[in-house]
Amino acid sequence: MDPKSVLFNELVDFLHKRRFSEADELLLANPKLLKYTDSARRMAVHYAAGGGHLDFVRRELESKPQLANLEDDTGWTLLLLASSSGHLEIVRLLMNFQIDVNHRISTGQSALHFACSKDHLGVARELIDNGADLNAQDERGTTPLHKAASQGHQRIVNLLMGNREKLQIDLPNREGDTPLHLACEDQQMDVALFLVRSGANLEKKNRQNQTPTDLVSGMEHKLRLVKAIEEVFLEVHKMQKTPKTSKITKREKFEEFRLAERQFHEFGFTCYGFINMYRSILIENWTFVLDEFALKQINQKMHFSESTDTKQFDSLRDRLASRILYNGRLDLILDQAKSHLNDFFLNVVDVKDEDEAPSYDDEAEIMREIEQLEGEILTLRALQ
């Protein structure tokens, strides 16, 4: 290794460790290092931007403003390096120069991708304020919202959603996953619930034919998601309710229902999907009911040790789980579904006149779905 490379590596180490005074002394003694380019086509100013040495970056840009857009061999610029490392003051400095805020590295990520992925709130806000593309997709189709949602960065998600008129909340990646898919898959339930309440589509399927709710693990998480869906469901219905003191015709009631239904659909969830969400909890996750609820109660009652006979344990678990299921956990879920669906379709039931009756039979179809759901519960119980 040539002597200049050794000195440059020493400089890079100082900058990484934020030993800026030592880096400055080394540069003062070896000014040619300012023009040195390493094997990754990076110069000292790249490492200073990534390391947070604001004064050094400012000095270099004041004398050589063209460095503001200098790329390394994979497309990293000073803005990308500073954004990825969370150095807000350097990002602000760079905004005074002619830079491309949406420049991408070779794999398609922008500065906003990295800021959102690493929860750098101030940097993300600065980038957005200066025109960063909220819907930029990398080579995998990932957007900044995908990055934030999958890692549970609630503050970043809130920031992005604050630009709702520009943000495509359901934009899928190459696998067909929306940000809500990833939040559900990675069990980032607080973010998932926020996205649901913000109108994310719960019925959109990925390339594996999965909806976001298919990717939620665990009864507790699924029930939390259902609660959020119920809130959206009732809020949309509430928005369209006419005060009881008003006198309205049957036709107006039906039109009110249709408007509520359309608005509910815009939230990304149909009534059929609502029923299927309950069905998913009841049918697909019954083993979780056995393993979690029953296991807790067995351990509390029996105080089993790790050496307990497996067959004895399984038998007791199944017996107790059957009792838990029979004692109303499933009935409670079913009652919630029926109550909300009956309430939602109340206006259709009241449309009686033949000349006003629509050629629309969803209410009856939904009731048949509920009956089928009841049958599935009976079948499930029979298996126990």
- C-alpha to C-alpha distance for 227 and 235, rounded to whole angstroms: 12
* pLDDT of the residue at 18: 84
pLDDT at 10: 87
* Rounded Cα gap, residues 268 and 211, in angstroms: 11
Q: What is the pLDDT of residue 51?
A: 94
Buried b (16+ CB within 10 A) or exposed e, 74-97: eebbbbbbbbbbbbbebbebbbee
| pLDDT value of position 298 | 42
Provide the β-strand partners of residue 110. 104
Sign of CA dihedral 54, 55, 61, 62: positive
Q: Which residues contact 54 (CB under 8 A, 6 or more apart)?
A: 87, 89, 90, 93
Residue that has been written with the tokens 């491309």 in this structure: 100
Tally of CA atoms within 13 A in the half-sphere of 40 that contains its CB: 13
Residues contacting residue 224 through CB under 8 Å, at least 6 positions apart: 189, 193
Surface-to-core class of residue 196, CB atoms within 10 Å of its CB (0-12 exposed, 13-18 middle, 19+ buried): buried
Encode the chain (384 residues) as per-residue pLDDT tens digits. Answer: 677 888 888 888 889 888 888 999 998 889 888 989 999 999 999 999 999 999 999 999 999 999 999 999 999 999 999 999 999 999 999 999 999 999 999 999 999 999 999 999 999 999 999 999 999 999 999 999 999 999 999 999 999 999 988 999 999 999 999 999 999 999 898 899 889 888 888 888 999 999 888 888 765 566 666 666 555 555 544 444 444 444 445 455 445 444 544 544 444 444 444 444 444 444 444 444 444 444 444 444 444 444 445 555 455 444 444 444 444 444 544 455 455 455 544 443 343 343 443 333 455 555 565 566 555 555 544 544
Long-range contacts of 160-165 (CB under 8 A, 24+ apart): 160/116, 160/124, 160/128, 160/134, 161/194, 161/198, 163/128, 163/134, 164/198
**Residue 58: predicted pLDDT:** 96
- pLDDT at residue number 245: 45
The Cα 78–Cα 328 span in angstroms is: 60
Task: With beta carbons less than 8 A apart as the criterion, state whether 54 and 21 touch.
Answer: no
